[in-house]
Amino acid sequence: MSDVTTHDGVTLHVEDSEGTGHPVVLIHGWPLSGESWAHQTGVLQENGYRVITYDRRGFGRSDKPQGGFDYDTLAADLATVLTQLDLQDVTLVGFSMGGGEVVRHLGTQGSRGVRDIVLAAAVPPYLLQADDNPDGPLTRDAAAEMRAGLDQDRDAFFPEFAAGFFTAGDQLAVDQAEVDDAVRLSQQSDQAAALGCMESFATTDFRADLTAIDVPLLVIHGDSDGTVPFEGSGKRTHESVPGSQLVVIPGGPHGINASHPEEFNTALLKFLGR
């Protein structure tokens, strides 16, 4: 455990396997924490990698400030983790909302010290449907409904959201224990952070950030993702970044790292070891 402190005094909870292996930083999705990478951390360590996870501000075991949930601040938090742990030649793996931190980091900080990146079921290039983004998969009505659900009754919202997170078509792709664990992690979030980050991942335009990607990129996505649909996100990102690699997991819901860990880990390890 190597907690770090951000420029505005927020303490982020960090888990670092340390060692001399190639560093891989795993950035979790909303509204979870670094614990959500449980299906990946052990496998990566067994294959010789130094694995770092951290809890986003307002989530998990990190401090719970009442602001700083825009992507510029969140990307600066990622930069703090990289700097304070003195990570070089690093692989950044962003899941869902975490993919936004990865691409905004490259868009604002550049790729110095970054070897390559992975975007898994990630929100870029731009979720919100708008006149200049007709292929955005999230309508304004759906975004407003989601926010209202969380705002009015988070205890009811999180179980429903977690079930959808792991549903492919009309079938739950994990056992109930996995859903319950996601709800447990969700409940660790502060309400201000949960609402603020929901606003950020729903409305942030990452299209300019994608043009700054100048390192190898792997896009991993489930073809049955009902939370961040492949056609409006992963597919568009892959098409926007020349030379990027794409792995589509058949029958994969949003939470593919937990529902399809074998396929996910195989693709990740192949990319890391290329």
The residues carrying an active-site annotation are: 96, 225, 254
Q: Which residues pair with 219 in a beta bridge?
A: 119, 246
Tokens describing residue 263: 């396929």
- DSSP code for 212: T
3-state secondary structure of 257: helix
Yes or no: say if 24 and 44 are a contact pair by the CB < 8 Å rule.
yes
Residue with tokens 């929901």: 198
Tell me which residue of 211, 4, 233 sits closest to 106, measured CA to CA: 211
- End-to-end alpha carbon distance in the chain: 29
Q: What is the largest CA-CA distance in the chain?
A: 49
Yes or no: say if 91 and 23 are a contact pair by the CB < 8 Å rule.
yes
3-state secondary structure of 231: helix
